[in-house]
Amino acid sequence: MCNPASPPAFLGRVKGVVFDCAGVLVDSHDANRMYYNLIREGIGMLPITPEEEEYVHMHAVSECLVRIIPPERMAEAQEVRRNLNYADIFPYIFLEDGLTDVLAAFAARGVRLAVHTNRTSTVGDLLAHFEIGGYFDPVISAGSLKRPKPDPEGIHMILSAWGLPAQDVAYIGDSALDERSARAAGVAFWSFKNPGLAAAMYIPDFPTLLSCLRGFPAMDAG
């Protein structure tokens, strides 16, 4: 648990933090449901079920379409998807409370920040929409990987780009896919708003994480 009264020592030593996108940087449950329902409705299908909603919140779009669209309707669904304007869904996506303060605090400490998400082409537009893209380098999406989460390929790419060993890096996620990806890559996993995951630290919200960070002096940015 990230306890401001007694913050874990490793929080003061971390040199790089990787963030998942949906469910961590932003609350996009409503937007994801709307997006995939628009595709299904566009080919005359009923809305997705609650079970399918949980699936599409975690997986890459190609995997989601295979899950919710029959093979014989896939070409129609892809055509509907190509004609959707994802920017119309941005009003239904919300930045997590306290996120920007945490990003600024990490940046002030010289901690490297990255994004690793199973989103594809929309992640750059999403970061730009909320004006937080400048905090993250690199941004790894499913579209830039041969093997999306839970494979560790994306985290390995980030470690290589930073030149940091796995023991200096943590990954903040909210799903079992994130947990498995972090474990496979050998980095610490910090669970966000999901106490049911096996994690080195549970973060109930970003204001709590910020309070924990304030318990440590700033590191040398070099």
The per-residue pLDDT for range 168-178, each reduced to its tens digit, is 999 999 999 99
DSSP SS3 for 46: coil
Name the pairing type of β-strands 112-116 and 188-192.
unpaired
DSSP 66-123: HHHS-GGGHHHHHHHHHT--GGGGGGG-EEPTTHHHHHHHHHHTT-EEEEE-S--TTH
Instruction: Please report how many Cα atoms fall inside a 13 Å half-sphere around the Cα of residue 222, on the Cβ side.
Output: 0
pLDDT digits (tens, 9 = 90+) for 98-147: 999 999 999 999 999 999 998 776 788 889 999 999 999 999 998 888 88
Average pLDDT, the chain: 91
Per-residue confidence (pLDDT) for residue 40, from 0 to 100: 96
Q: What is the DSSP letter of 192?
A: E
Q: What is the pTM of this model?
A: 0.84
